[in-house]
Structure 1
């Protein structure tokens, strides 16, 4: 049995909410709703940040402020931390005080608490952090993604929190975007399959169980398609593109049972998504069939007035967004939404029926989560926090994320009997290994990381001994010594190789906005200093998005992409560099060569062509490293690609098989990817699309036949009438260096 299957089974068993339970909850919600005043209903739709009811001391409650929020304003939800992560006991104490206060209200409706636990339980000290989504996409391992999700759910619930604002389903097709590391990369198929699996893993045990939490699809819809790459900036997205590349992930997540959705902060084609009835009601509710809670993002209903200027007053903004389909407002600092919505109802700008609809969804979620039965943190859930096996899983995930991009003359793996210079700002930075949402929002404050967290420098010293390692670095990413090129040149004289650690320090959301994908000048200068020594250089990249390295890549002997891979990133890096782990990650995006050539792998034929004097030259897709790149210390060969038929008809399945052999000298994991191409269609077809993948493990000399099944739905596209169709014609199946064609009729 796959060990991740086993771990998932051990963490929890699958228990689905029965139809009988659902009916019972619906009756309870209806009965409760009938007793509620308008003020109590609108309070349920109000979400505030912890700072409103807390003090300047993290984890402390201002009892008077709490009473004002919960008793006077009937708030339905609280989120966030004041500054940094808390201990499990601090969470239990805080949440108990909130539950106690809710018990004093007329109807005793519990408060639902929510956090952004996007790569582990972000906001509990010593919780286990795993790779960011972009690193998990590199693993191409669905079962591994589910296993780490189960741990996140366990550690959230152990903290007393039952609502997680995860996972991000935005398609990462704009590499400048500061939330790119939270995505599963540029491919739709990886995004929808891994995303849906994660959503299901959060919830499938049953929301009333201590191994599950309510998930949240983020951010509906098109958030990542920012025209200028800045966070929360305008998006211009033709609907045909929206439906082809950005909607499928949410469609699958709805099918997987997502309990909630968070709305895109920006505007799409000039309309704030929070105020778009077309997107939030017509598509999300009616077309996709979503019936969970729709929550705004941070302060975004206010911004319909203050930023976007489509509402002429704050009250009009509230009315527009609630009427469009927002059920809960992340206000988050005050009670203006509460006051304005009550006023809007009195003025008949929002109907009571719409209020009841929103509140019913919120109450139903609280029912499913068992909050009405027990609104307090569950003492028994504490046993699921910090288990030793979680650290093993974190290392497994970091290992499988590691993506080897270059290995010139087989310079890797390195010998443990030579001397090394470890340089660069990433060498002694913990935050640059974890990235955003890591015990603090930005992830930069290293005092909150677990005390046993290791740096790249430490793990290399562990491999070869401190006497064989020289460094020119200091702790933290921004330290001046980290960028001293002269010191690097001097220190390199007596070493055999330079391990150069470059990339990005942690950032989240708008603070991560950049104007250029180029590495900063200090890092470029450091790389040039390393090149000037004439020593072999291994470049280790810890970054959330692809920063340009085109000018230094030719002089790098080896390049390892480590992403932001969580608690065990440094250990995984050292294991790969010194041959104790055979890398098997694959790039989940096309690593661009230059700003003028950001072309995605599933490009249109015309994007592939650069016309020169009427000659069509196919150089349009010319990234530094292509989507799917990922080297190994062994070699794999493909043979015997077979299709079950050359003529696929109607709803029939096309069965595809291929033999994969490990032709090298060591064991290795390998992801087999199946792509298709539609040669001609009514809409210019993509050059290739990933349709299936499977990760296998092969010993030296071992071969395995990998089988896939696809059908017309896997070949479909969105046509000019915005319908998803499969047109008759010729298709090509591509696996590795092999291809076969068939006709669809």
Structure 2
């Protein structure tokens, strides 16, 4: 069984002894020994967890294994990773020719799969460093830590060019231009592969995803990139040229389509352009089940993918079926043996370059370096250099480290998982202490020296403090789960910042985010805005900047939009006028001493549209101005006599408040202020004229508050998990929510304008039946049952009823099953609570709160049949109290309450032949 492997070893040794180290000759000699089964096996990559038997590695001569996101040994530590790798490699060496495996992982910001490894900022942050030397060092460390666990292939760097912030993979790219991708692609590949792949601490890089993944329409993950070839080449392909110049050994095909054709089956781009024109000599690997998306027929998909230029297929699970089909395609002449040999030649060449034939097993001598202090220091440096100080009022930063008291607020402040983001220990990432590291709160405590740090997750703290650091942003996500139709800051976070500002001290907002967010609504309540991106495990680097141990140096590698109306916006666009431009970033802390004038910090409307707040860089000490000095424009039109009064805020002396004669509406766009006066100053600093200064429209902000009764479009969530949006063919077009699995959810900010019973009509399509859960402020629950409509775009209405009181709610929609889509929810009022003049009036119930029994009284204007029932707040019937006749006049009833009822709020329904009437009841148990 081992004799062919000995022959192969002799061949390798012979070429080495003779000085004939030309790897191509080694590869050709090996290919001549291989059967079709062995060649197809080399083109097959299986997920480790999908192996039916370890013996399949040798029996089918598998060329590669991978660990998908979260696919790790137990316990998840470097030694177990290395041992796992060796166990697989031993099986590979038992095959007829003993060809070693190449093992791949997504180590996209450090060896982020392994507990205890250092996790660097995601690429969006590294791009903002504009420091290719640092990026090379980051990837050298990544290569060392990956090598320590035996792994020899990294699905990195991602050199996508994100052109729409709504895309859930925005943070995986270095920035929105070819300029930044070219700089960082070369540095990252050189960091991973070094000058030679045959060193113990170097690994094979994989540039991804070829090509155009960041340019899809509306930022839909795996969507359609509808651009000309000129734009595809100049923007999306440019970084690959630099990666090829750095001798990148592999390139991953992209899920997206280009003008309607899937990249995994695109021969022109994969072969004619990438391999022949650009001279790429490595191998092309598919993405996870990417081949499956080419065609519904798997055989046809495989044929088109291999003929297009895919060399290795990340199957990842049905590898036996893939092997059988590909062999059959070759035997039937649908795929040529020359194409197979070309693919295998490319794969084997990289294995030889990696010296896998000579040293196939892990080198565990590197394990002490995993998560070492030296590596963490570099990660902390990367955090410092990636942080972008977007704006700051004078003398707010840096904070004094000596004998001060600071409040830190926000649940993300003490959350390493949130700092790391997606692709951290697991595919989607998760909140909490997912690995070893330092949260922002811990970093502030570490750096603050003699100053006291107080932490309150919700900001509740009554004692005086000198300043507040509030951490807001995104919970972890990856890929399509991060696609987001609305990028405004979430309702709860806006409210937190507003509440904290009432304390009357400077507010420093630190954002943990994988993309620019719409921040206009919180800007008036802040005094400094910092984008920390997704910094990873060494968040002390954030504190290094806040306390002034280092100056900020990060510059935006993406454009920061003013509002959702500007998205997509990219450097070079016509009418380019963002909130913060490409390459913006303060590199000094603003101070009154260094300032030459008083400048605007931000402007925004109040949430009800009655006021405008103009926040300036310093406290206003003199205001000799009138409303005539200001001009207000809405939608490009000057609005005469709109301003009724101007005055300095009583709680924040750097803010001017403009009272308005009429409300600004949610639909108003392009609001701006022009100032021609000269009477506003802060001591010697004068506010110069303003020319159409942008005013953010905060009316019904915070993710877009929607009204009930009314229609809520399913895609207008402010936060979600697991769902994606797609083009909808239902009446009215637009988008629908889909790709739902059990446990996926969306959240909406809603305002109910009238107490009453509502019919909610959900517009649903799909191939499964089930139920959909609706929660309102986690206290009112309703379930909508639905059935199959036998089509993804075959829409039907499914309804239920629930009682809602007037007020604001967070409506959470939770999927209980999969295989369905949602277009919208339509709320219509059935019956509001009536007044005295109704047929039933003067309803009273006592005691209320009740324990075990109640007395109910009401007036009835006529003799009538009535029913009296008890419901939960979600509309679920829990007890029928009475059914029968009631008399004209005062009616009295005594009821015993079911012992099965839990403590909580309920509704009593009195229903006659025409109307329904309601009374709230609190039960104490």
Is 1:66 equivalent to 2:58 in the alignment?
Answer: no
Count, aligned residues: 571
Cα distance, 1:289 vs structure 2: 0.5
The answer as to whether partners of 1:96 and 1:376 remain within 8 angstroms in 2 is: yes
Question: How far apart, CA to CA, are the structure 2 residues paired with 1:200 and 1:536?
Answer: 44
Q: Confirm whether residue 170 of structure 1 aligns to residue 160 of structure 2.
A: yes
1:447 CA drift (Å): 4.6
Task: Classify the secondary structure of the residue corresponding to 1:323.
Answer: helix
| Aligned match of 1:691 | none
2:327 maps to 1:357 = no
Query: CA 1:492–1:281 in structure 2 vs 1: closer, same or farther (change >3 Å)?
Result: farther
Post-superposition Cα deviations, 1:133-166, rounded to whole Å, max 9, x if no partner, equal 1111111111111111111111111111111110
Distance 1:271 1:430 in 2: 40
1:126-275 aligned within 5 A: 126-275=116-265
Q: What secondary structure sits across from 1:291 in the alignment?
A: coil
* Structure 2: distance between partners of 1:205 and 1:629: 34
Q: Which range is displaced more, 230-239 or 153-162?
A: 230-239
Q: Deviations over 1:529-579 (max 9, x none)?
A: 22344332110011111111111113311111111122212x111121111
After TM superposition, the structure 1 stretch with the greater mean CA deviation from structure 2, 527-536 or 140-149, is: 527-536
Given the alignment, which residue of 365, 371, 374 partners 2:359? 374
Is contact 2:497-2:525 (8 Å) kept?
Answer: no
**1:192 Cα shift?**
0.4
Partner of 1:35: 33
Partner of 2:544: 575
Distance 2:19 2:500 in 1: 65
TM norm structure 2: 0.60
Residues 1:421 and 1:124: Cα distance change in structure 2 (over 3 Å): same
Residues 408, 456 of structure 2: 8 Å contact kept: yes
Render the CA deviation track for 1:437-476: whole Å, top value 9, x for unaligned.
Answer: 22222221545401xx222222223344798333321xxx
SS at match of 2:224: coil
1:315 corresponds to: 299
Q: Quick one: distance in 1 between partners of 2:445 and 2:503?
A: 22
Q: Is 1:287 aligned to 2:271, yes or no?
A: no
User: Does residue 1:430 correspond to 2:416, yes or no?
Assistant: yes
Q: Which residue of 2 is the match for residue 632 of structure 1?
A: 587
State yes or no: 1:345 paired with 2:333: no
Candidates 50, 53, 57, aligned match of 1:52: 50
- Whether 1:454 and 2:438 are equivalent positions in the alignment is yes
Aligned equivalent of 1:564: 534
- Residue 441 of structure 1 is matched in structure 2 by 427
Higher relative contact order structure (alpha carbons within 8 Å, sequence separation ≥ 6): 1
Equivalence for 1:641: none
Please state whether the residue corresponding to 2:241 is helix, strand or coil.
helix
TM-score, L = length of structure 1: 0.74
CA RMSD for the aligned pairs? 2.2
Gaps of 5+ in 1: 1-17, 54-63, 307-312, 474-481, 483-487, 609-620, 638-745
Tell me if the contact between 1:265 and 1:274 (Cα under 8 Å) persists in the aligned partners.
yes
Deviation for aligned residue 1:384 = 4.4
Larger Rg: 2
SS in 2 for 1:628: coil
**Corresponding residue for residue 317 of structure 2:** 333
Q: Any idea what the Cα deviations from partners look like across 1:245-287, whole Å, max 9, x if unmatched?
A: 1111111111111000000112111100000001101110111
Deviation at 1:27, TM superposition (A): 1.4
SS in 1 for 2:30: helix
CA distance in 2, matches of 1:459, 1:492: 24
Deviation at 1:89, TM superposition (A): 1.1
Change over 3 Å in CA distance of 1:530–1:66 after alignment to 2: same
Distance 1:568 1:379 in 2: 25
Deviation string, structure 1 residues 579-610 (Cα, Å, up to 9, x no partner): 12211111111111111113645324xx22xx
Q: Is the 8 A contact 2:397 2:590 kept in 1?
A: no
- Whichever structure has more helix as a proportion of its residues is 1
SS at 2:22 equivalent: helix
Distance 1:171 1:466 in 2: 44
Q: Deviations over 1:198-250 (max 9, x none)?
A: 11222123111112111001000001111121211222121121112111111
For the residue of structure 1 that corresponds to 2:468, the secondary structure is: strand
In 2 relative to 1, CA 382–493 (structure 1 residues): closer, same or farther, beyond 3 Å?
A: closer
- In structure 1, how many angstroms separate the alpha carbons of the residues matched to 2:431 and 2:71? 10
Aligned to 2:63: 76
Name the SS of the counterpart of 1:139 in structure 2.
coil
Between Structure 1 and Structure 2, the one with more strand by share is 2
Separation in structure 1 between the aligned mates of residue 548 and residue 41 of structure 2, nearest angstrom = 57
The offset of 1:403, in angstroms, is 1.2
**3-state DSSP of counterpart to 2:121:** coil
Matched, 1:106 2:96: yes
DSSP-derived class of the 1:507 partner: coil
Kept in 1, the 8 Å contact 2:425–2:435? The answer is yes
Which of 77, 99, 116 matches 2:106?
A: 116
Distance 1:182 1:506, change over 3 A: same
- Specify the alignment match of 2:469 in structure 1: 499
1:694 corresponds to which residue?
Answer: none
Change (3 A) 1:243 1:46: same
Question: 1:301 and 1:46 mapped to 2: Cα distance?
Answer: 12
Q: 2: distance between equivalents of 1:326 and 1:224?
A: 21
